[in-house]
Amino acid sequence: MIVWLCLLVAFLGGRLPVVGTEEDSGPFSTPFPSPLNADAFLSPNCSQLTLKLDFSTKVVKHEYIVAFNGYFTAKARSDFISTALRDVDAVNWRIVRRDNPASDYPSDFEVVEIRQDTRSSLLILQDHPYIKRVTPQRMVLRSLKLTDSGTDGASPCNDTRWVQKWQSWQSSRPLRRTSLSLGSGFWHATGRHSSRRLLRAIPRHVAQILQADVLWQMGHTGSGVKVAVFDTGLSEKHPHFKNVKERTNWTNEKTLDDGLGHGTFVAGVIASMRECQGFAPDSELHIFRVFTNNQVSYTSWFLDAFNYAILKKIDVLNLSIGGPDFMDHPFVDKVWELTANKVIMVSAIGNDGPLYGTLNNPADQMDVIGVGGIDFEDNIARFSSRGMTTWELPGGYGRVKPDIVTYGSGVRGSGLKEGCRSLSGTSVASPVVAGAVTLLASISVSRFDLNGDYVDVAVSYSPVLWPWAGYLAVSISVAKKAASWEGIAQGHVMVTVASPAENDSGIGGEMTSTVKLPVKVKIVPTPPRSKRILWDQYHNLRYPPGYFPRDNLRMKNDPLDWNGDHIHTNFRDMYQHLRSMGYFVEVLGAPITCFDASQYGTLLMVDSEEEYFPEEITKLRRDIDNGLSLIIFSDWYNTSVMRKVKFYDENTRQWWMPDTGGANVPALNDLISVWGMAFSDGLYEGDFTMADHDMYYASGCSIARFPEDGIVIAQTLKDQGLEVLKQETAVVENVPVLGLYQTPSEGGGRIALYGDSNCIDDSHRQKDCFWLLDALLQYTSYSMTPPSLTHSKNRMVPPTGTDRPLPQRLEGNHLYRYSKVLEAHLGDPKPRPLPACPHLSWAKPQPLNETAPSNLWKHQKLLSVDMDKVVLPNGRLYRPQVRPLSPGESGAWDIPGGIMPGRYNQEVGQTIPMFAFLGAMVVLSFFVVQLTKAKSKPKRRKPRVKRPLYLQQQQQQTPHSGKNPTV
């Protein structure tokens, strides 16, 4: 009960983490591998498999999705397109026919094949008043990779070897589960260390581990909730399902059955009624077959299926797909339309972990429940992608993702025809959450009002919040009266959205919706200026808007920089290190003109690709004169190398030229030129030793100019630029890589330059240089020059930069298309007008519930609670016991008519997973009240549990030595 209440509280009020999905690799993908051997996936044996879904997409030649501004009949859509193309010489075009269940209903898009005069035709179509957007049709390719982690092949469920095989799921350490609870173990635990042998012997039904049987006993089995599974289909007479309402096919294959088993597995996790039980066996299951047996799909198939799901008023939709390219506008628009129509979409977050910032779309969208994975030791699965979201960058800060995590390693689900399989992956975890949400859909949860007026809260939003547009942001800051206070402040934010009445509503006037968002903040006294670091996020750019290459040119197989360059993505290790050293890192998401420099000791710029406003350059000079310090980690920039690393994209049939290098060195030089500093266009690589630390320089630049009274450290490196351009090898001595400078003004700040950022970047770091960052911060924050650098044998006379010209911007680059600073202009791009700084309107707090306990905020251990310290009612009289499976005995619960929820489930384990403080306090309070009432009632003799009929029959058929078999 606690687990389910906590899950719903987390979803409504702050979103916990759960397990995730598989993603596509965007337009730059590897070739699609051969189809999966279906027999290896389908057989109902119980060997342990690890599932990895790889996705890629590619543009379909000559096919375009024409999206309309509303829903129109097929004839109206055809007339609109014909009218638009009437005066164009595109005589060779046709509307691609789509035969599927959505064909009988109005639609908001059409697929058009245009084979000549494509550019002019597209422009004409986009100008039509009823056409919203024209985008290329995309093919989605999904490959399933299964690895049998056993050593002796697949073994059947009733094989005696199965017990040992079951322990071989994907894990980083041996089996040591301390917080696993199967069935109703939460209610009936007998001791912290008992039944340890059972934990290793009994199958792990994820629905029982998460205590779905507690809700089954209360009569909640998912009845009345419509669940859609978008996958590979489902066989008509599969014995695990009793309420398949509809099966629909959206592919070009003439079948509704599952030819691979993935869709069957996902559906089983959600709604299986026997053997490997699902969460909601009585839910109304809608099967959407959107992938062929060769694991191929198209954007248009999904769009039609999504429209049909809206028509059918689906409640919960599971989508185990995704990819890093969020620019498939028709797909993303339709996802937003689904959620705006009250469809709860659950999607896997991706298998690109453990690097942060590897989240996949659509699970990274704010209105989709993104699911990540953990193993049965309650550790985040290494393969699980993790947050924060990056598609908003640099315009926004991004959000914490995944929303929830759950078991995604070694999860059991339905086999293709019968029996069960055990698979791993975030697409396995996604249906776990979808099934949980289905159960929770009919359960109400208590609301809480918490106190706290030590935080200031501001809500900013667009004037209109529309299903496909608008934003709403919540900003939190410490109130002035709490500047020196330390503790926990908590409360809630109430948001009310007003909108016109629906068209089919008979009630006039506006409609309002109100949401309460719990807020809990740990407050510390305002740190001293020397401990506060400001990270410049405003000047970092990333793919997919343009071609921004990797910082390390050795990464040839993955040339696009798509992680976001953020302290919560590929610089997370650096962030954690700085926090462990006592520094406080804040993120600047606005121009340099928008922060109070007197509050910060150091401005940290890493791998910047953006240009700078003239006002920013002026303000930074003034701030440094007044005590702000600056650290810059640069990267390579060489126009000849940039032309060399261009590539031809078969999807768009265009050459892709980098719009900048690893960093925008010409822009950085404009920023620091006032102090006589500059980076060069040199490109260097190599291992060296600095201050007794092993270092690796990965595609970095050198310092071309530096003040003569500064400190410069040089190293011997390879000329990587020469290697890229001419395939020749040369070693260069005395390459200036590090510079330290104290500005001459009284009380002025300090500047530190380093030519490579890869040593603090998680993406492809080989040897970290966190020690160097510590040393530079000691210099910039406390004016303490590291002796190891001051007296280094590699110290050299600062370069004057007269031997070679400074790097110039690549002629004809298109950076202005993606820049917040530049705008298109005849000739060279010019700076835009400086945008206004954001200003927040702080809401007035209204303290509530002044008597709330002071320890309410304290967290329990993740997914664990000490059951020896929790007094719970004895429910053992209501349930039979559990024993290990005997050799030759099936692990399935073969009960005629399906599962009887709550009576025949297994009981194993001592502790409960997914424990959140809000739900726990409510439920524990309820228990205390019930126990108090129970003390006044006379004790009754425990009734004898009547043995189920099928077990009596089994007893008669199975020889035994005088003991009754138990379940």
- Active-site residues: which are they? 231, 262, 427
Reported as type and span, the H/E element at residue 413 is: strand 411-414
How is 121-159 classified by DSSP, letter by letter?
A: HHHHHHTSTTEEEEEEEEEEEEEEEEEE--SS----TTS
DSSP state of 176: -
Closest CA to 285 of 251, 239, 247: 247
Please give, one letter per residue, the 3-state secondary structure of 770-838.
Answer: HHHHHHHHHHHHHCCCCHHHHCCCCEECCCCCCCCCCCCCCCCCCHHHCCCCEECCCCCCEECCCCCCC
Q: What is the largest CA-CA distance in the chain?
A: 98
Give the bridge partners for 510, in sequence order: 500
Query: What is the C-alpha separation between 559 and 540, in angstroms, rounded?
Result: 17
> Is residue 614 helix, strand or coil?
helix
Give the burial class of 27: count Cβ atoms within 10 A of its Cβ; 0-12 exposed, 13-18 middle, 19 or more buried: buried
Cβ-contact 495, 515 below 8 angstroms: yes
Give the burial class of 628: count Cβ atoms within 10 A of its Cβ; 0-12 exposed, 13-18 middle, 19 or more buried: buried
Cβ-contact 43, 128 below 8 angstroms: no
Cβ-contact 139, 58 below 8 angstroms: yes
Give the burial class of 844: count Cβ atoms within 10 A of its Cβ; 0-12 exposed, 13-18 middle, 19 or more buried: exposed
Query: What is the C-alpha separation between 112 and 78, in angstroms, rounded?
Result: 10
Task: Determine the angle formed by the axes of helices 614-625 and 665-672, rounding to 10 degrees.
Answer: 50
| Cβ atoms < 10 Å from Cβ of 124 | 20
Closest CA to 433 of 756, 207, 106, 254: 207
Q: Which residues contact 803 (CB under 8 A, 6 or more apart)?
A: none
Helices (H), 544-686: 572-580, 614-625, 639-644, 665-672
Closest CA to 609 of 561, 702, 540, 680: 540
Cβ-contact 919, 5 below 8 angstroms: yes
Give, in degrees to the nearest 5, the angle at Cα 123 between 120 and 126: 150
Q: Which amino acid would we find at residue 630?
A: L
| Cβ atoms < 10 Å from Cβ of 172 | 9
- The pair of structure tokens assigned to 81 is 């397109």
| Cβ atoms < 10 Å from Cβ of 451 | 18
- The pair of structure tokens assigned to 901 is 């929820």
Query: What is the C-alpha separation between 931 and 885, in angstroms, rounded?
Result: 35
C-alpha 600: how far from chain center: 31
- The pair of structure tokens assigned to 736 is 């200036």
Cβ-contact 754, 772 below 8 angstroms: yes
Q: Which residues contact 703 (CB under 8 A, 6 or more apart)?
A: 677, 678, 679, 680, 712, 736, 737, 738, 739, 753, 755, 799
Query: What is the C-alpha separation between 310 and 923, in angstroms, rounded?
Result: 36
Please give, one letter per residue, the 3-state secondary structure of 81-130.
Answer: HHHHHCCCCCCCEEECCCCCHHHHCCEEEEEEEECCCHHHHHHHHHCCCC
Query: What is the C-alpha separation between 886 and 257, in angstroms, rounded?
Result: 35
